[in-house]
Amino acid sequence: MTSTNPATRAWEGLTIPAAGTYVLDQSHKRVGFVARHMMVSKVRGEFTEATATVTVAENPLESSVTATIQAASITTHHADRDAHLNSGDFFEVEKHPTLEYRSTGVKSHSGDEFDLAGELTIRGITHPVDLHVEFHGVGTDPYGQQIFGFTATAEIDREDWGLTWNVGLETGGVLVGKKVKIEIEGEAIRQA
């Protein structure tokens, strides 16, 4: 069955966006993370300034994404902690103002879930990071713009990027966990 809407097309049982260039909607995005605190709880935060371009290919499995995150836009809703995260102990935003992600290919997919291979650069250090992406569908917003929604998750070891600051606890363990879960939610708007 072929879609009559030129903004969408049928592919492997899904209705997906037409090939083209899409950008992250600044009003409908969250670039977040979760880290363990004192081995007993979680701290959630996000980067409020991030841009991304998604190129949806004719063959959806050849689609790609690039993203730039402004490191200084980090917020955990605690001013002192945010200032520490911006310092040389963590992101060193004066020398490294952005975090960058570039996909290198779609590794696999099942239904509306895709595993995207890519490279994440933090503090000038680049390592492979796979994103697990869930495609949430396509639509037209109230302004007539063609959009699609998604979430993406990954787990990284922050120490791989030189983010090694920590404090040992008297009870054992450390103040900040090494593993950080990345949580991205958003809508992308068709540009061309």
- For 172, phi then psi, to 5°, come to 100, 155
- CB 129, CB 104: distance < 8 Å: no
pLDDT recorded at residue 38 = 72
| Amino acid letter, 148 | F
In angstroms, how far is the first alpha carbon of the chain from the final one? 25
Summarize pLDDT for 21-61 with one digit per residue, the tens.
999 999 999 999 999 877 778 999 999 999 999 999 999 99
Q: Which residue has the tokens 């929604």?
A: 149
Tokens representing 173 are 């363990």
Is the pTM above the cut of 0.85? yes
Cα separation, 167 vs 169, whole angstroms: 6
In sequence order, the 6+-apart residues with CB closer than 8 A to the CB of 142 are none
All residues at 6 or more sequence positions from 22 whose CB lies less than 8 Å from its CB, including other chains: 53, 54, 55, 56, 147, 148, 188, 189, 190, 191
- CA dist list (Å): 67 to 21, 75, 120: 13, 18, 9
pLDDT tier at 192 (50, 70, 90 boundaries)? low
pLDDT score for 76? 95
Average pLDDT of span 119-137: 98
| pLDDT computed for residue 172 by the predictor | 73
The residue length of the chain stands at 192
Walk me through the domains of the chain, giving residue ranges and CATH numbers. Answer: 8-190 (2.40.128.110)
Provide the total of helices (H) and of strands (E) in the chain, helices listed first.
Answer: 1, 13
State the pLDDT at residue 171.
73
pLDDT tens sequence across 63-114: 999 999 999 999 999 999 999 999 999 999 999 999 999 999 999 999 999 9
- Percent of the chain whose predicted confidence (pLDDT) is above 90: 84
